[in-house]
């Protein structure tokens, strides 16, 4: 079996397959996931809602009497042993299709009509992906929980094999156990690759008369639980501005989703065509002189998984009603998997706009909230990126423009320039030009680079990388610092400098404008000063806190409205005195019913002033 990356925006009708073969291979410990790369627990997230399957009962395999019963019942094995997984067999209309049908229906058939399963193959699972939509987790999908990118999955079994039911053994006459093979293929469907443990159901091969694969090993259960435990869902989408696009995720990576993981579309800039300019990039954070939490690179071959410090805490939510730009996405992760976690939650907000002068970049904002219980001082946020600019990775040169807080990369075959700029008002506090051949991304080196200011700002021509950091943030417990970066393209150094300035203007004056600004809809009437803060957490799954401040007494109304402006919940409707107020919103409507996942707005109004904030409810 050849592993394929399937967390990607690929063309409609493109399929990836996972097959089970006959021969035994080497036995070693451990499971892997479909997109394993070198990061722990990195995989596409399969559906976590019941999925209907159409069973081809027109094909009756003469070698086994009860194949349809086995196909139906074996699907429940994973669900019975893995919490949060709901993929039991739901039978749809019977079908005469077999093999990879590509008709938006999940098919099961005991015959491989399209010769997908050849040679030593026993069965094959094919997944067809969309290339459309707003990403993988989307507020427009059913219950906000169905993988939009998965168009269909089809499982087919080789018609040339002798199938049997292990419950009828002994004797066994050179037959293959249909239970074990079917459970194995269902493991592929939910997101697991092959285990290297020979006793596991997800091992890459099975021998005739082997009945041990019909039950899950500890290895199989561990692999599935790593996918479906709360907070480990991995999701990615690509935001597109007028001329730039960038793949973003809910685990801190951008460009591609992990160390060398070709999942996503990198960063592209339209005037340079389909060239992919970022091989790998990750957000990072750390105090001056302290450890760095990040998802960038494997520290050494002796540490499988390397630096995979960020834990996903929410799906990637694509905003159906973007507030500031044409495309927006948001997600939450934390650094709880780091060797020395800081105890922060990071809300990542991504922005892409179609109109000039904002169409040459994608913005990544990271809201770093200190939930450690104590103060964190001298904290910095950074981007580490391995840049492969314009298909000349070995000839790239990196430099720094201090006036625009811009690290930029050039290469001989074009006058165009790629860059990463700091956007928040604190500006850049450190930049390091890196040579991939000599600068090893060890934990110690990352700390030195993040803390080291502007010691080395030029490198190349060579295979280069870069680090650019902002800060320093002194955060009391509960406080938030804002680190924002733009991935940019430009036709020249002057052009990318202008684009960096446009990105800084968009971020500082529009996206991250003065939160205490008050809209006064009634000219000529004195307004009661008020400030409605962004809800926290955002996105939220259970409840979220809304805080606001009044500087004068007066009538106050605090409402929650949906994206159409319809009132769904009134939280405050009374006269209040000067002061600061806090309200908990629990995600239910006025009648006490759970609201569906989506975008909502908190609206604070007095008799002569009003302010609105957007929030994301996820389920």
- Predicted confidence at residue 309, as pLDDT, reads 82
The CB density around residue 300, as the number of other CB atoms within 10 Å, is 12
Q: What is the mean pLDDT of residues 86-96?
A: 78
pLDDT of the residue at 66: 86
Alpha carbons 212 and 235: distance in angstroms, whole number = 34
User: Which of 194-198, 207-211, 422-426, 571-575 is least confident?
Assistant: 194-198
Rg (CA), the chain: 26
Residue range 174-190, pLDDT digits in tens: 999 999 999 998 888 87
Q: Is the pLDDT of residue 302 over 70?
A: no
**pLDDT higher than 60, residue 233:** no
Judge residue 412's burial from the number of C-beta atoms within 10 Å of its C-beta, 0-12 exposed, 13-18 middle, 19 or more buried: exposed
> What is the structure's pLDDT at 360?
96
For residue 368, name the pLDDT band (cuts at 50, 70, 90). Answer: very high
Q: Please tell me which residue, 613 or 366, carries the higher pLDDT value.
A: 366
Name the residue among 281, 243, 472, 475 with its Cα closest to residue 364: 281
Q: Topology of 14-228 in CATH?
A: Collagenase (Catalytic Domain) (3.40.390)
Q: Which residue ranges does the chain devote to CATH 2.70.98.10?
A: 236-511
pLDDT higher than 50, residue 141: no
- Over range 369-380, report the average pLDDT: 92
Residue 524 confidence class, pLDDT cut points 50, 70, 90:
very low
Confidence of residue 235 (pLDDT cuts 50, 70, 90): low
96-125: average pLDDT: 81
DSSP 184: H
Containing H/E element for 39? none
- Kindly state the tokens that stand for 458: 């030029």
Q: Which residues contact 494 (CB under 8 A, 6 or more apart)?
A: none
Closest CA to 73 of 91, 61, 60, 57: 91
Higher pLDDT among residues 133 and 606, named by residue:
606
Tokens 């443990």 correspond to 197
What pLDDT, on the 0 to 100 scale, is given for residue 22?
46
CATH 2.60.40.4070 residue ranges for the chain: 530-617
pLDDT for 20: 63
Output the pLDDT for position 550: 83
163-170: average pLDDT = 91
Instruction: Work out the pLDDT band at 502, boundaries 50, 70, 90.
Output: very high
CATH number of the 530-617 domain: 2.60.40.4070
DSSP 8-state code for residue 423: -
Q: Scanning the structure block, which residue is given the tokens 């990105």?
A: 503
How much is the pLDDT for 428? 93
pLDDT, tens digit (0-9, with 9 covering 90-100), for 248-269: 887 788 886 444 344 567 899 9
Q: Cβ(369)–Cβ(347) under 8 Å?
A: yes
Give the pLDDT score at 85.
66
Q: How far apart are CA 152 and CA 100, in angstroms?
A: 9
With b for 16 or more beta-carbon neighbours within 10 A and e for fewer, the 185-213 pattern comes to: bbbbbbbbbbbbbbebbbbbbbeebbbbb
Q: Single out the residue of 530, 529, 574, 528 nearest to residue 548, CA to CA.
A: 530
Could you tell me which of 526, 535, 530 has the C-alpha nearest to residue 518?
Answer: 530
236-511 classified as CATH 2.70.98.10? yes
Mean pLDDT over all residues of the chain?
A: 78
Backbone angles phi, psi at 402, to 5 degrees: -65, -35
Task: Look at residue 401 in the predicted model and tell me its pLDDT.
Answer: 94
pLDDT at residue 18 greater than cutoff 70: no
pTM to 2 decimal places: 0.56
Over 90: is that where the pLDDT of 415 sits? yes
Q: Residue 189 in 3-state DSSP? A: helix
Q: Taking the mean position of all CA atoms in its chain, how far away is CA 311?
A: 11
User: Each residue of 389-407: pLDDT tens digit?
Assistant: 998 989 999 999 999 999 9
* pLDDT of 94 over the 90 cut: no
Q: How confident is the model at residue 225 (pLDDT cuts 50, 70, 90)?
A: low
Most confident option among 332-341, 422-431, 546-555: 422-431
Higher pLDDT, 120 or 406: 406
- Is the pLDDT at 209 greater than 90? The verdict is yes
Indicate the range of 30-39, 251-260, 283-292, 534-543 predicted with least confidence: 30-39
User: Minimum mean pLDDT among 33-47, 202-216, 299-313: which range?
Assistant: 33-47
| pLDDT higher than 80, residue 139 | no
Question: Where is average pLDDT lowest: 217-221, 242-246, 345-349, 465-469?
Answer: 217-221
Q: How far apart are CA 191 and CA 84, in angstroms?
A: 14
Mean pLDDT throughout 226-230?
52
Residues 6+ apart with CB under 8 A from 228: 48, 82, 83, 84, 85, 190
Residue 15 has pLDDT above 60, yes or no: no
pLDDT at 306: 47
All CATH 3.40.390.10 domain ranges of the chain, comma separated, are 14-228
Q: Is residue 2 classed as helix, strand or coil in its secondary structure? A: coil
Residue whose C-alpha is closest to residue 436's, from 383, 386, 392: 386
Task: Kindly report the backbone phi and psi dihedral angles of residue 595, in degrees, each rounded to the nearest multiple of 5, phi listed first.
Answer: -80, 145
| Whether the predicted pLDDT of 354 surpasses 90 | yes
């Amino acid at each position: 079996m050849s592993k394929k990356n399937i967390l990607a925006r690929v063309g409609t009708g493109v399929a990836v397959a996972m097959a089970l073969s006959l021969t035994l291979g080497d036995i070693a410990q451990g499971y892997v996931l479909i997109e394993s790369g070198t990061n722990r627990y990195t995989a596409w997230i399969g559906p976590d809602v019941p999925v209907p399957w159409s069973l081809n009962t027109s094909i009756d395999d003469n070698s086994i009497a009860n194949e349809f019963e086995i196909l139906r019942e074996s699907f429940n094995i994973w669900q019975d042993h893995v919490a949060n997984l709901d993929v039991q067999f739901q039978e749809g209309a019977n079908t005469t299709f077999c093999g990879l049908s590509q008709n938006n229906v999940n098919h099961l058939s005991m015959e491989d009509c399209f010769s997908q399963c050849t040679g030593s193959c026993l069965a094959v699972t094919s997944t067809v992906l969309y290339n459309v939509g707003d990403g993988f987790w989307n507020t427009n999908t059913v219950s906000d929980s169905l993988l939009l990118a998965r168009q269909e999955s089809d499982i087919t079994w080789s018609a040339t094999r002798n199938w049997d039911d292990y419950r009828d053994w002994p004797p066994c006459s050179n037959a293959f156990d249909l239970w074990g093979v079917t459970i194995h293929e269902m493991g592929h469907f939910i997101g697991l690759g092959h285990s290297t443990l020979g006793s596991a159901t997800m091992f890459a091969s099975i021998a005739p008369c082997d009945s041990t694969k019909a039950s899950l090993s500890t290895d199989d259960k561990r692999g599935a639980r790593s996918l479906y435990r709360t907070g480990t869902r991995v999701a990615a989408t690509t935001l597109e501005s007028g001329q730039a696009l960038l793949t973003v995720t809910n685990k801190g990576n951008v460009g591609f989703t992990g160390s060398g993981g070709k999942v996503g579309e990198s960063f592209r800039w339209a005037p340079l065509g389909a060239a992919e300019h970022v091989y790998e990039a990750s957000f990072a954070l750390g105090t001056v002189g302290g450890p760095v939490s990040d998802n960038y690179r494997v520290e050494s071959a002796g540490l499988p998984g390397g630096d995979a410090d960020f834990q996903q805490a929410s799906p990637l939510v694509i905003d159906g009603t973007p507030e500031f730009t044409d495309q927006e996405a948001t997600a939450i992760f934390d650094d709880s998997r780091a060797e020395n976690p800081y105890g922060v939650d990071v809300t990542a907000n991504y922005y892409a706009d179609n109109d000039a002068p904002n169409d040459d970049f994608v913005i990544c904002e990271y809201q770093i909230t200190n939930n450690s219980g104590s103060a964190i001082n001298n904290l910095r946020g950074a981007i580490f990126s391995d840049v492969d600019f314009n298909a000349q990775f070995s000839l790239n040169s990196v430099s720094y423009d201090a006036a625009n807080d811009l690290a930029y990369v050039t290469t001989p075959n074009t006058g165009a320039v790629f860059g990463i700029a700091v956007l928040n008002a604190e500006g850049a506090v450190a930049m390091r030009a890196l040579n991939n051949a000599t600068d090893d991304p060890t934990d110690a080196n990352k700390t030195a680079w993040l803390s080291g200011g502007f010691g080395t700002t030029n490198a190349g021509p060579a295979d280069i990388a870069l680090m650019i950091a902002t800060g320093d943030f002194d955060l009391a417990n509960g406080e938030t610092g804002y680190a924002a970066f733009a991935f940019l393209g430009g036709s020249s150094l002057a052009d990318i400098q202008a684009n960096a300035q446009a990105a800084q203007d968009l971020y500082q004056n529009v996206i991250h404008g003065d939160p205490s600004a008050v809209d006064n809809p009634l000219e000529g009437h004195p307004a009661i000063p008020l400030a409605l803060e962004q809800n926290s957490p955002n996105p939220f799954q259970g409840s979220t806190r809304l805080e606001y401040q009044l500087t004068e007494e007066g009538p106050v109304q605090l409402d929650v409205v949906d994206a159409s402006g319809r009132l769904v919940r009134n939280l405050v409707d009374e006269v209040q005195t000067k002061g600061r107020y806090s309200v908990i919103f629990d995600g239910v409507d006025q009648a006490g019913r759970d609201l569906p996942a989506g975008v909502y707005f908190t609206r604070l109004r007095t008799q002569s002033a009003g302010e609105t904030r957007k929030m994301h409810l996820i389920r």
